[in-house]
Amino acid sequence: MALEEKKVVVVGGSSGIGLAAARDLARAGAKVTIASSRSKTLADAKALAPELETRKVDVRDPEAVVELFKSIGEFDHLVVSAANAVFGNFLQAELGKLQEFLDTKFWGACRVVHAAAPKITKTGTITLVSGAASHRGTGGLAIGSAINAALEALGRSLSLELSPIRVNTIAPGLIDTPVWDELVSPEEKRTIFNESAAKLPTKRIGRPEDIAHAIRFVIENTYMTGQVVITDGGYLQV
């Protein structure tokens, strides 16, 4: 009953991990608002889960982020999973795309937390979403690994600065989310997933629901703060 009638905001909540977390938290009794810059995915999410309230916001726009949280008012729990990800060789990537990745996932999280924290109740939480690749070098994920490491460092420090609000970070491994359909071709995705699954101790790729469960865990565990919870199927062990 810990989440019954609690107000939760999930930024980046219209698809993938964010949407899975929003639906899981709503099933636990929370009143959930999802926010995203993508009108189509917001509409799709609302059609799939009518219990979710939807708001449109671009985390690259500081004024829009501030206005979002002014309109929401006081709430209990914040989850931030917004990102325009880039996958591939560092030297072959467009610098503008790498900058956008940084601007949405890291600076976007900073803007969101800066605007939202004063609205969060003292028994509330902030949960960031990084990535397990921040803990070891991985080809094709150089900028993503760096961004994720920065998010984890941010979360640890904010757990002290924002106390008693609890701040934790979830570090997923390879998860089958719609973002992969934007990053690579279906054939490349199939190859990456099959090869990765064969190496993992779990012998499968992660699902958004796996990470949603981890997010709910750190929200409900009132003695956990400043932690990075790696949920990677054993990726860091192989």
Does residue 179 surpass a pLDDT of 90? Answer: no
pLDDT of residue 39: 95
Averaged confidence pLDDT in the chain: 96
Q: Is residue 101 part of a domain?
A: yes
| Six token digits for residue 142 | 């150089």
State which residues form the domain around 146: 7-178+207-230
Helix/strand/coil percent split, the chain, to 5: 50, 20, 30
Listed in sequence order, the residues at least 6 apart from 43 whose beta carbon sits closer than 8 Å to its beta carbon are: 54
Angstrom distance (rounded) from CA 15 to CA 175: 13
Rounded-to-integer distance, Cα 11 and Cα 24, Å: 15
Q: What is the CA radius of gyration of the chain?
A: 17
In a domain, 41, yes or no: yes
pLDDT for res 113: 98
Residue 213's domain is classified under what CATH number?
3.40.50.720
75 within some domain? yes
State the pLDDT confidence band at 139, using cuts at 50, 70 and 90: confident
In which region does residue 225 sit, left (phi positive, over 0), alpha (psi from -120 to 50) or beta (all else)? beta
- Convert the pLDDT of each residue in 50-93 to its tens digit: 999 999 999 999 999 999 999 999 999 999 999 998 888 899 98
Domain count, the chain: 1
The predicted-structure confidence for 206-228, as pLDDT tens digits, reads as follows: 999 999 999 999 999 999 999 99
- What is the pTM (predicted TM-score) of this model? 0.96
Question: Does residue 141 lie in a domain region?
Answer: yes
| Beta pairing class for 75-80 and 120-129 | parallel
